[in-house]
């Protein structure tokens, strides 16, 4: 029972999965609560925010931190018109320091869901579209004016209809903007004049916001002024997917290592690279030295056959900092050369592109099990491993068991959550050696 605990303890930090909304959980709300984190599952009730979250916040006036992890199972119907009510309720939390709505980054959204977690922030005339999630700019301004201690604000990313006015308000309120998500809309949602007006205003917004993280996706036009504005920002993260080919982007990308030498995240996908920029593109990839995330997928170009040849060099230059790596269509030799010495790698995925005829690493003579064991030996801190190789039936029976014995930190293996099984069945009596010293020379 929760009620006796509430009576005996001063509970300050609350983390809730959405299905746990039944009494007496709501009794956790009080003036003692300082931090509230919400995590979503497929069981989210449609009226979850209206019936539970908003009342919870009203009963927690001393709240300092709200984190809403929308994940991949969130649908806009769950939030709907309650988003504006939620922001209004948060305005009464005078000591609020952090608001964070975590959504998929732009490069992770499939095309069919490109607007499923965008909000329309409208003026006094009301929404221009029929989007489910809306909030007025006046409500956002009231929140920022009321909560003067806010030092981190990450609201739902704005839809294309309102992003200039939304980011302009945040800049005027001197809010530190952590990331800019520049997502284009469907082609038939607005006229050409509106698009041209936005393209004229975006460069100033990008320069003023100086956000260290920028995501571009879904046909967003990267004009020369927009690329110049992006280049003027000291970026920590750049994610570009599904944008039309244009010279300004590739010219900007060539100068990126010089302008943002400490770039930490680089995700490029669904880009057509013409022969005029292929060599420059490959040279630029070799210039980054502090990446913690590298994701390259669905890159097209007649001369990109050289990409596999330089990937080991690219990865090795970042091996001390690299934590997440996503590549496509690698043979086993190239893969093992890439990850040699990447002892801090946490997540590795080698996928098959739509144009490939063979699965990646299909050339490895000893089979999937041996390949996975070699990968884990090189990357002992892996918690997620996705190798789209083919294991024979007999090998598949023992694949997970052997891998989990060796990779004790693995939580995901080829889209399966294996943390539970690792702890109960496959530890093999092995214990971590606290005196072990890791070396980049270890295999």
Asked if residue 114 belongs to a domain, the reply is: yes
Q: Which domain holds residue 163?
A: 1-176
**Average confidence (pLDDT) over 356-374:** 74
Q: What is the pLDDT of residue 372?
A: 82
User: DSSP character for 57?
Assistant: H
In 150-297, alpha helices (H): 163-172, 192-209, 224-231, 247-259, 275-285
**Within a domain: 188:** no
Nearby residues of 268 by Cβ (< 8 Å), 6 or more positions away? 239, 240, 241, 295, 296, 297, 299
Q: Indicate whether 109 belongs to any domain.
A: yes
Is 7 part of any domain?
yes
Domain count, the chain: 1
Is residue 319 one of the residues assigned to a domain?
no
Q: What is the CATH number of the domain that holds 109?
A: 3.80.10
Task: Please say if the pLDDT value at position 193 is more than 60.
Answer: no
Give the model's confidence band at 316: pLDDT under 50 very low, under 70 low, under 90 confident, else very high.
very high
Q: Are 298 and 328 contacting, i.e. CB atoms less than 8 angstroms apart? A: yes
Structure confidence by residue, pLDDT tens digits, 100-154: 988 776 666 655 555 566 788 998 888 877 777 889 999 999 999 999 999 889 9
Nearest to 348 by CA among 359, 357, 358, 336: 336
- 288: β partners: none
pLDDT of residue 357: 62
Does residue 437 register a pLDDT over 60? no
Residue 14 forms part of a structural domain: yes
In a domain, 208, yes or no: no
Domain assignment of residue 250, yes or no: no
Least confident of 28-37, 55-64, 404-413, 432-441: 432-441
């Amino acid at each position: 029972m929760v009620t006796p605990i509430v009576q005996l303890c001063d509970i300050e930090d609350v983390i809730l999965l959405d299905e746990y909304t039944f009494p007496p959980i709501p009794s956790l709300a009080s003036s003692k609560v300082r931090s509230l984190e919400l995590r979503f599952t497929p069981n989210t009730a449609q009226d979850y925010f209206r019936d539970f979250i908003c009342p919870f916040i009203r009963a927690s006036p001393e709240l300092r931190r709200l984190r809403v992890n929308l994940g991949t199972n969130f649908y806009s119907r769950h939030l709907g018109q309650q988003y504006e009510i939620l922001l209004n309720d948060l305005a009464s939390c005078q000591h609020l320091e952090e608001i964070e709505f975590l959504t998929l980054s732009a490069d992770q959204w499939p095309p069919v869901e490109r607007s499923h977690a965008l909000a329309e922030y409208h003026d006094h005339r009301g929404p221009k579209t029929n989007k489910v999630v809306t909030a007025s700019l006046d409500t956002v301004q009231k929140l920022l004016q009321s909560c003067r201690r806010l030092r981190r604000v990450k609201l739902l990313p704005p839809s294309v209809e309102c992003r200039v006015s939304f980011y302009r308000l945040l800049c005027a309120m001197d809010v530190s903007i952590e990331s800019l998500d520049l997502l284009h809309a469907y082609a038939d949602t607005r006229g050409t004049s509106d698009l041209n007006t936005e393209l004229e205003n975006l460069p100033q917004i990008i320069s003023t916001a100086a956000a260290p993280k920028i995501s571009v996706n879904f046909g967003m036009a990267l004009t020369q002024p927009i690329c110049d504005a992006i280049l003027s920002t000291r970026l920590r993260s750049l994610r570009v997917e599904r944008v039309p080919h244009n010279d300004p982007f590739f010219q900007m990308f060539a100068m990126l290592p010089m302008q943002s030498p400490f770039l930490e995240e680089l995700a490029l996908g669904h880009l057509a690279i013409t022969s005029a920029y292929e060599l420059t593109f490959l040279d630029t990839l070799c210039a980054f030295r502090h990446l913690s995330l590298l994701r390259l997928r669905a890159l097209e170009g007649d001369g990109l056959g050289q990409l596999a040849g330089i990937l080991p060099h690219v990865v090795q230059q970042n091996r001390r900092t690299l934590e997440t790596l996503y590549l496509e269509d690698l043979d086993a030799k190239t893969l093992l050369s890439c990850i040699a010495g990447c002892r801090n790698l946490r997540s590795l995925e080698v996928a098959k592109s739509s144009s490939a005829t063979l699965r990646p690493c299909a050339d490895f003579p000893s089979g999937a099990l041996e390949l996975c064991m070699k990968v884990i030996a090189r990357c002992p801190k892996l918690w997620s491993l996705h190798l789209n190789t083919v294991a024979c039936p007999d090998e598949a029976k023992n694949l997970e068991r052997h891998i989990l014995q060796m990779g004790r930190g693995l939580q995901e293996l080829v889209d399966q959550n294996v943390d539970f099984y690792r702890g109960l069945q496959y530890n093999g009596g092995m214990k971590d050696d606290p005196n072990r010293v890791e070396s980049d020379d270890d295999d």
